[in-house]
Structure 1
Amino acid sequence: MDRYTRQTGLADFGPEGQQKLSKAKVLVVGLGGLGLPALQYLNAMGVGTLGLMDQDTVDYHNLQRQVLYTEADVGQAKLTVTLQRLQSQNSQTTFIAHDTFLTKDNALDVIAKYDVVLDATDNFPTRYLINDACVILNKPFVYGALHGFEGHVSVFNYQNGPTYRCLYPEMPSMEEIPNCDENGVLGVIPGIIGNLQALEVVKLVTGIGEVLSGKLLVFDGLSQNYLKIAFQTNPEHQKIRQLQETYQTPDCSVVPSISAKDFSQKRLTGSLVVLDVRTSKEFYQDHLPEALNIPLQELELPNTVLESKEPIYVICQSGKRSELAVKQLQETHPKLSFYHILGGMNKLRILTQ
């Protein structure tokens, strides 16, 4: 117990609080900018069992904010690297590794084994899936989100309190979702928000303080201001008894796509028509030599492309904007063949390392 004396000495925490932490089982979904700082502190503070869930690999663009990783880790599985670092930090912790992404098929089985879920994901479908599974299983979950210089934190489904759907009833369409590849996030903001999420987990488990249930905490990094927005429970959203058939963003259209690996193979066989729909600044920093840059907001094909009888491959940073571009191009040029490249430049660079 010597390692925890600085917190067990707190009058409102004490050995009782430490005992509660040691018995707690916390699942962290996502090993990125939010999940890593939260895990490091929960591990250091003595949470007994930590579940780690992710199936992504470390990329160079992660290093700016996911500071547990080093340059030597690029290309390795985030789960493997994180597990090694956390085990060396606290050998007393029990770790459960989930080498997968959270899906409709595994969500209920996995979440049922834990007391609290910490949502460190970066996409709406997974957040709604976590919410619905937690409502069904009556588990609280700690929410965090990032955008630019701003971060959000809240606690949902705690002691019959509001759910995520009480705050955001419907999943936004793809066109309404902010694009982090284009808008970015300041590296230190995820660390602040991830630590605030860890604090909420500790409060949930030990019973100290006031939990952020029914309140959305908004942090503005540029002004160092914190704003709390209260929201009410909608009883209808507490009546979820089964998961939805799908948790994809609302979109009925089928978008032709190609994996980054298959695209790389095609590049070896000859010249391809490649359209890069990122901003001019992104294109200037790093691009494929054969690519033509036309930003998504200015999407209008030149005659040289219009007259091509070959498939047109559309790329962006992560695959999101290229998918939107192909949808738009299919409508305006139905006789041409378009494919968006899954994973975009991020995936291509991993393949070439």
Structure 2
Amino acid sequence: MNDNQLLRYSRHILLDEIGIEGQEKILAGHALVIGAGGLGSPVAFYLASAGMGKITLVDNDTVDLTNLQRQILHTTERVGQPKAESGKATLARINPEVEVVALKERLEGERLSELVSQASVVLDCSDNFATRHAVNRACVEHKVPLVSGAAIRMDGQISVFDTRHEMSPCYACLFPPEQQFEEVLCSTMGVFAPLVGIIGTMQAAEALKLVAGIGESLAGRLLLLDARNMEWTSIRVARNAGCSVCGS
């Protein structure tokens, strides 16, 4: 690290858990962030400010006026612009040292697999089961840790799926792809603005911990937040030997 970096990241370096070694791991890290909306906004903010070396920000949508209630990466002046490009512009103002790759596309198939294989950690900030399952399969295939978050109405959830470890479940262990789950969208159900900030910030924290190699991740635990009463529930999740994605 140069003198400017030592100063910029000094509050991390002062932490016994991170120090210079941990910060250097963050600076060498590559986060793939899928979704530049409500969850992806705080995720990207904190990864960039913390010095994640490379952030690949993927979103195939454009900024809409209805997004601005919670998607803090974007501004009124950017309505109509691609979210990925808008996010890149914001992150450049926060930390110009971070390499941000903005992709306006919907990831699937070989393209998704390719990008996952290049990442140190993947953060799923999408809003539909099809994408979540596709991302999970790619993470299992390449053994890349996945930080998954979701938020709708006043309810949020977050977990880590890290199949580098034999006993860690994958997303499909919790939500089997062969089962039908109700698809709920904030465009019809609404979402409490600070809720996505809470969950997204926690996703960033888990990603930074994984890249720096510190602490204990949420692998094997699902945290549920009831923001009406600000109550957390922690549920243990075991690996399913019969899982269609990671099962033996």
What TM-score, normalized by structure 1, do the two folds share? 0.65
* TM-fit CA distance, 1:239: 5.6
1:71-106 CA-to-partner distances (Å, cap 9, x unmatched) read 111111111111111112111111222221111241
Where 1:100 maps in the other structure, the secondary structure is coil
Counterpart residue number, 1:193: 199
In structure 2, give the amino acid aligned to 1:196: M
In structure 1, give the amino acid aligned to 2:71: Q
How many residues align? The count is: 240
Q: Which one is further off, 189-198 or 10-19?
A: 10-19
Counterpart selection for 2:26 from 21, 28, 37: 21
Structure number with higher relative contact order (C-alpha < 8 Å, ≥ 6 residues apart): 2
CA distance in 1, matches of 2:153, 2:178: 21
Counterpart residue number, 2:212: 206
Where 2:109 maps in the other structure, the secondary structure is coil
CA distance in 2, matches of 1:116, 1:227: 25
CA distance in 2, matches of 1:239, 1:222: 35
RMSD across aligned C-alpha pairs, in angstroms? Answer: 1.7
Is the counterpart of residue 164 in structure 1 residue 171 in structure 2?
Answer: yes
Work out which of the two has the higher radius of gyration on C-alpha atoms and give 1 or 2: 1
CA distance in 2, matches of 1:184, 1:171: 27
In structure 2, give the amino acid aligned to 1:208: I
Counterpart residue number, 1:144: 149
Q: 1:217 to 1:139 in 2, by over 3 A?
A: same
In structure 2, give the amino acid aligned to 1:134: C
Moved over 6 A (4+): none
In structure 1, give the amino acid aligned to 2:187: D
Q: 1:89 to 1:237 in 2, by over 3 A?
A: same
* TM-fit CA distance, 1:67: 1.7
Counterpart residue number, 2:3: none
Q: Which runs of 5+ in 2 are unaligned?
A: 1-5
* TM-fit CA distance, 1:240: 5.1
Where 1:236 maps in the other structure, the secondary structure is coil
Asked if structure 2 preserves the Cα contact closer than 8 Å seen for 1:163 and 1:238, the reply is no
Identity of aligned residues (%): 39
Q: 1:200 to 1:238 in 2, by over 3 A?
A: farther
In structure 2, give the amino acid aligned to 1:44: S
Where 2:192 maps in the other structure, the secondary structure is coil
Counterpart selection for 1:41 from 38, 42, 46: 46
* TM-fit CA distance, 1:140: 0.9
Asked if structure 1 preserves the Cα contact closer than 8 Å seen for 2:43 and 2:201, the reply is yes
Is the counterpart of residue 216 in structure 1 residue 216 in structure 2?
Answer: no
What TM-score, normalized by structure 2, do the two folds share? 0.92
Counterpart residue number, 1:279: none
Counterpart residue number, 1:112: 117
CA distance in 2, matches of 1:4, 1:213: 27
